Structure 1
Amino acid sequence: MAQSLATVLVVIYQEILLFAVVGLTIGGIDDFLVDIMFLARRWWRNIAVYSRHPRMTTATLPASSRPGTIAVFVPAWGEADVIGPMLRNALSQWSIGRYRIFVGVYPNDLATLAAVNPIADQDDRLVICVNERPGPTTKADCLNVLWRTMLEEEERTGTKFKAIVLHDAEDVVHADEIRLFDLMIDRFQLVQLPVLPLTGEGGWWSRAIANHYCDEFAEPRLMLA
C-alpha cells in the first residue's frame, strides 16, 4: 500500500515537473525571440546601414530644407522650485533655431507665476498662458490652454508653427534638439527623442524615490506635426 502511494506521488511529481518545464519553455520562447530581434537589428544597423551611411552627429546635422518655428509646450502646476532654472537653461541653450515656449500656469499658483513672470518680461520667446480655472485641473486641460494660445499666436502673426514639442517643468533640455526637431519633422509625423534620467541627491530615502522615478520617466519626448 505504502509503495503504491509512493509510486503515485512520484508520477504526480514528474507530471507537475514536466508541466512546469513545458510552461517555462513556452514562456521563454518569446523572450528569446526578442533577444534574436535585438541582435539582428544591432547587426543590421552596425554593419549593413552604417557601412553605407556615416553616423550623423549634431556637428554634421544639416539644416532643414523647410525651416519653421517650433512651439514648445510646458504645463506647470506647483513648479516654482524648478520652472525658473528650466526656462533660463532652455532659452540659453537654444541659441539656434526659431521657437516659442508656451508655459501653462494657474491664477492661484502665485509661486510659479512669480518664477515665470520675470523671465517672460525679459524674453519675448516665452509666452505665459494662464488657465481660466484655478488649479490643479489636469495636464490635458493645461495643454488645451497652451494649444488655444498657440492658435491665437498663429492668427496674430499670420504664421503657423511647424511642430509642437512637449516638455515638463523639470526637464534639462539639449542644446541641439530644436535643430533636430526642425529637420526630422520634415520626414516624420512624430519624432521621439530618448530621455536620460538624472539620479537624485540627498539622503537614501530621497535617492530611492528619485531613482525609481528615473526608471519610470525614462521615456522619449514627443514632437507632433
Structure 2
Amino acid sequence: MTPLQWLQVVQYELMLFAGFWFVIGMADELAIDVAWIWLLLRGRVRSAWLKEDVSSRPLTGVAAVFIPAWREAGVIGATISHALGAWGHAELRLYIGCYRNDPDTIAAAMKAAASDRRVRLVIHDRNGPTTKADCLNRLYGALTEDELRSGQRARFVVLHDAEDMVHPAALVVMDAALDGAGFVQLPVRPETMPQSPWVSGHYADEFTESHAKAMVVRDAIGAALPAAGVGCAISREILHELAEARKAELERSEGPSRNRRAGPFAPECLTEDYELGWRIARSGRRGRFLRLRDQDGQLIATRSYFPDTLGEAVRQKTRWVHGIAFQSWDRLGWWGRTADLWMALRDRRGPLVALVLFTAYLLVVIGTALGAAEGARLITPLASPPEVRMLMTLCLAGLAWRLLLRFVFTAREYGISEGLRAVLRIPVANVIAIIAGRRALLAYLRSLNGTAVTWEKTEHRGHPALASLAAREARA
C-alpha cells in the first residue's frame, strides 16, 4: 500500500471514531432538548416576570456577599459602587477579600467603599495569589468573627467575582427562594465586548443556551446543580455544616494543628464553586436554578465581561476543564440517582469533546489532502461504506439542529445579529475547547506526578456597569 492508501485507511477509522462519538453526544443533547421542549409545552420554561419592583423590599436576615479580589484594581471599585447602589438594604454586608501584597486593589476598594459601613475590607495575611477558595475561606473566617462579636448570624452568603454587575432585585429573590432550598443559582449573562466579538462573544452563546435550557432541565428533574461561583446564594446553616465537615476531614488526615483555616471551600480545588453545588446536593439539600425577569423584562442575572483574547479564554477554560472533568472525578467520584450520574457525565465530558473535535478538524485536513490527490489522479477514490454514510448523515442532521438552537437562544437574549454571529462563532469555541482540553489533561497528569496545581488568574479590563453608565450619559 502507498502512503496515500494508508491515509485513506486512517481517514476511514477516524470517521468511525468521530462519527460514533458525535452521535452519542447528539443523543445526549437531544435528550436535554426533548426535556426542555416538554417543559416548554407545559409552561414550565418561560421566565416568570415580576409584577413590580421588589429591589427595595427588606431582607429577612443579613446577606453576606463574598468578593475575592487579587489584582483587580481596575474593576473592584466599579463592582463595589454598583453593588452598594443597587442593593440599598441595611441587612447587606459586603466582604471584600484583598491581599497584603496588592496595595492597588486595597486602595481601589477603600475608595469605592468610602464611609459605607456595610463594607468590610478583609486583608489576607498570605501573599497573593492563592486560590479563590483560599480567599473565600478567609472571608468566611471574617464573617464568623463578626457574627461572634455582634451575636447576629447571617441568613445566607452570596458569592460574586470582582468584575460582576449585579441586578437590583437579585438579593430579594434569592432571599425568598432560600425558604425552600439550601442553595440558589441565578443565571450568568456575559456581556459582549465590541473589541472582541468572536472570543468574548462565544461565552454569551454558551452561557445563554446552558442557563436557558440545560440548567432549567437539571432543576426540573431534581438533579444536582453546580454553582457558577457568581450570583449564587447559600444558606448560612449549610455553609456552617460544610465547614465543620471539612474541618473534621482535615483533622483526620492532617491533625488538629493544621485545620485552623478550615472553611467550607477547598483551596486545592480549581473549581470550588462547582464542587460546592454537588456537596450541597449530597447533604440532602435541594438546589434551585432561579430564572426570573424584572418588571421591565430584564433578566435577573449576573452580568460581566469574559476574556477577550484567545490566550486568556484558553487559560480560563483550562481551569474549568481541569477542575470539573478531572479533579471532581477524583474528589467527588460517582454518586446519586440516575439523573445525577447523567449530569456528572455531561459535566466531565470536556476532554473527550476536545479529542473528538480535534479528530473532526483533522478529518477536514485529511479529506482536503485526499481530494487533491484524487483530483491529480494519484489515488483511486474509495466508495463510502454504508456505516460511514449513515454516521455522516446523522452528524449533518445533528449539526443543523445544533446550529438552529444556538441561533435561537442567542438571538432571543442578544438580538438577531448576535444570533447569526453565534453560528459563525462555533469554530472559535471549538478551537478554544480543543486547546483547553489538551492543556487541562497535561496539567492533570503533572499533578498526578506530584506537581502542585497552579491557579491561573483571569485578567479583567472592563466593567459592564461603567459601560452602562457611559451609554446612559451618551443618550442624555
TM-score range, shorter-chain basis?
0.7 to 0.9
Where 2:32 maps in the other structure, the secondary structure is: helix
The answer on whether the counterparts of 1:97 and 1:179 sit within 8 Å (CA) in structure 2 is no
For 1:27-38, list aligned pairs within 5 A: 27=24, 28-38=26-36
How many Å apart are 1:191 and its aligned residue?
A: 0.3
Poorly superposed stretches of 4+, deviation over 2 Å: 22-35, 60-66, 118-121, 206-221
Where 2:152 maps in the other structure, the secondary structure is: coil
The equivalent position to 1:164 in structure 2, one of 150, 157, 162, is: 157
Relative distance call for 1:131 and 1:190 in structure 2 (3 A) is same
TM-score, length of structure 1 as denominator length: 0.76
Relative distance call for 1:126 and 1:66 in structure 2 (3 A) is closer
- Percent identity (aligned): 35
The equivalent position to 2:38 in structure 1, one of 27, 40, 54, is: 40
Bigger radius of gyration among the two: 1
Q: Could you tell me how far apart the structure 2 residues matched to 1:121 and 1:44 are?
A: 50
How many Å apart are 1:117 and its aligned residue?
A: 1.4
Structure 2, gaps ≥5 residues long: 1-12, 209-227, 236-476
Partner of residue 140, structure 1: 133
For 1:76-225, list aligned pairs within 5 A: 76-96=69-89, 98-202=91-195, 206-214=196-204, 219=228, 221-225=231-235
Deviates more, 1:65-74 or 1:85-94: 65-74
TM-score, length of structure 2 as denominator length: 0.38
The answer on whether the counterparts of 1:63 and 1:183 sit within 8 Å (CA) in structure 2 is no
Where 1:223 maps in the other structure, the secondary structure is: strand
Relative distance call for 1:212 and 1:148 in structure 2 (3 A) is same
Relative distance call for 1:58 and 1:151 in structure 2 (3 A) is farther
State the one-letter code of the partner of 1:211.
Answer: G
Q: Select the structure that is richer in helix.
A: 2
Relative distance call for 1:156 and 1:217 in structure 2 (3 A) is farther
How many Å apart are 1:33 and its aligned residue?
A: 2.7
Where 1:185 maps in the other structure, the secondary structure is: helix
Number of residue pairs aligned between Structure 1 and Structure 2: 199
Relative distance call for 1:163 and 1:45 in structure 2 (3 A) is same
How many Å apart are 1:60 and its aligned residue?
A: 6.8
Relative distance call for 1:64 and 1:162 in structure 2 (3 A) is farther
Q: Could you tell me how far apart the structure 2 residues matched to 1:87 and 1:136 are?
A: 21
Q: Could you tell me how far apart the structure 2 residues matched to 1:25 and 1:148 are?
A: 47
How many Å apart are 1:59 and its aligned residue?
A: 1.4
Q: Could you tell me how far apart the structure 2 residues matched to 1:157 and 1:58 are?
A: 37
Partner of residue 457, structure 2: none
Relative distance call for 1:25 and 1:136 in structure 2 (3 A) is closer
Q: Could you tell me how far apart the structure 2 residues matched to 1:30 and 1:207 are?
A: 29
Where 2:179 maps in the other structure, the secondary structure is: coil
Q: Could you tell me how far apart the structure 1 residues matched to 2:144 and 2:181 are?
A: 22
- Root-mean-square deviation (Å): 3.2
State the one-letter code of the partner of 2:193.
Answer: G
